[in-house]
Structures are given as C-alpha cells and as structure tokens.
Chains A and B, each alone.
Chain A
C-alpha cells in the first residue's frame, strides 16, 4: 500500500465526499417514519474500514457527519448530535468486530451490529437528553427492527462493492495485519 501522506489524505477526502453525497441525497428522500432511514453512507464507512483501516474510517466518518450537517444546515442541532453519536457507536462496534473480518464475518456481519449500535446509541441519547419521556422506549422495538433491515441492506450493498476486483485487491486481512 502506498504510504504517501498526501495521497492518503486525498483518498480520505474523496471517500468522505462520496459519503457526504450519499447522506445528502438520502436526506432528500421522504421517510414515512421520523428516525428511520437507510444509512447508505455507512456503506462507505464499511468499505473504508476494511480497505484502509480503522483510523481512516474514523476520519471519513467525522468528515461525513460534519460535512453533511454543514450542507443540510443541521450543524450542532439535535440531529447533528444524534448523527455523531450513532456514527461513533457504530464505529466502536466495527472496531471491535474488525478482527473477525473476513474469515468469520463478511461485510453483512459487520453492518448489522453497526446498524443496531447506531440505533441504540441514538435512542439512548434521545431518551437521556432530548426527549426524556418515560414511555419513549415503546419506540425502540420498531427502530431496532428498522436498524436490522437497513443493516442487512447496507451489508449486502457493501459486500457487492467489496466483491468488485478493483476494490477487492485493497481489502486487508485484519487477522494477520495490524489495522489503523
């Protein structure tokens, strides 16, 4: 792998731009239920994670959350904090599971726990800070179901992206090489 820092920065910038684009497009799609959306930008996060490692995935994710919130006008609003919390929780889970990829878990097995962690963390933040209502947990089951479904969808999308030979040759075997 090329270790030129300028090239590495450009790579991260380009991938973050892709993720921001996906998130902005997704924000334009009307959702029948608030709080549920496909989370397509997570495909980019997953691809970055298994090709460039955990640090690059963190950089792309932070750039994506801040960049998309600038474009959508939600910077520092509750939606921004929810987005940031969900993204970081998903990354933490991905970091823990990364060593199981690709021998024991495929992208699908990474995407589903990440989506569930994303949903749970957002819910806990919303419940603790934004809407501390005692009955709010009644919303959690449908949100978790949505997280499971969107996790499967993004996992399948990620697996097909990673199956592309042009990307496949960059995929790291995290069980033998140190990521990050």
Chain B
C-alpha cells in the first residue's frame, strides 16, 4: 500500500486540507463583539444605541419604566417592572444576538454586531 503512494498524493491531500481549512476560516471566523443595542417595543419603531460608552437609558412601557445600562461592548436590563425578574436575569448581553425580554413592558433588548451569529443549528 505505502509503495503505491506518489508525490502527487501529497500535493492533492495538501490542497484539499487547505480548501477545508479555508472554508472553516471563512465560514466560522469570529464575528467580533457587539456594536449596538436594539430596543424593540410593541407598537413603536425599534431604536438603536451604540455600545461605545457608559450610559443609562430609561424606556417607558405599559407596566412602568425599564432601566437599561450600557457599557462599552455590552448592555443589560438593570431594572424592569416585571415581578419575576426575567429581564434582569438575562444578565449582560455581550455576544451578538444575546437578548433580554420584558413582557410586562412589551420590550425586547438585543445586542448586535457587524454580522449576526447563530444561537444553534438544527436539521
């Protein structure tokens, strides 16, 4: 078996390996951090806030005021009127696609990057 191998085999396998590596590099390169926060509230246009500096935002909804804290590269739902604390429990939103939801305030917070990532893939 080994004797039948030719130099061309090494070239072919190297080329194929390079192709596979390139495809992984192109397809799965990290998309970088989050660049902005998108606040979507039922019945209103969604608002975008850049994640470049510390700031606090207050959003008024049907159940009260949701306080949002923004730091460079991340954001979180600091206080929200929901009594189960679901919005706050989402913690810091850092990776593109992370989101926090406040149903009482009909509010969704999502951080996004230059390119959207997937939570998971299913067949």
Contact = CB atoms under 8 A, between A and B. Distances in A.
Interface string A155-171: 01001101100000000
Contact of B16 (A104, A151, A156): A151
A163 B20 contact: no
Interface residues of A, number: 29
Interface residues of B, number: 22
Nearest to B3: A163
A34 B19 contact: no
A140 interface: yes
B46 interface: no
B28 A162 contact: no
B27 A138 contact: yes
A102 B8 CA distance: 10
B4 A116 contact: no
Interface in A111-161: 112-113, 116, 135, 137-141, 144-145, 148, 151-152, 156, 159-160
Given A138-B27, A138-B121, A148-B13, 6 more contacts: A104-B7, A105-B6, A105-B12, A109-B6, A113-B16, A135-B118
6 A-B pairs closest in CB distance: A109-B9, A104-B8, A105-B8, A141-B23, A141-B24, A109-B12
Interface of A: 34, 100, 102-109, 112-113, 116, 135, 137-141, 144-145, 148, 151-152, 156, 159-160, 162-163
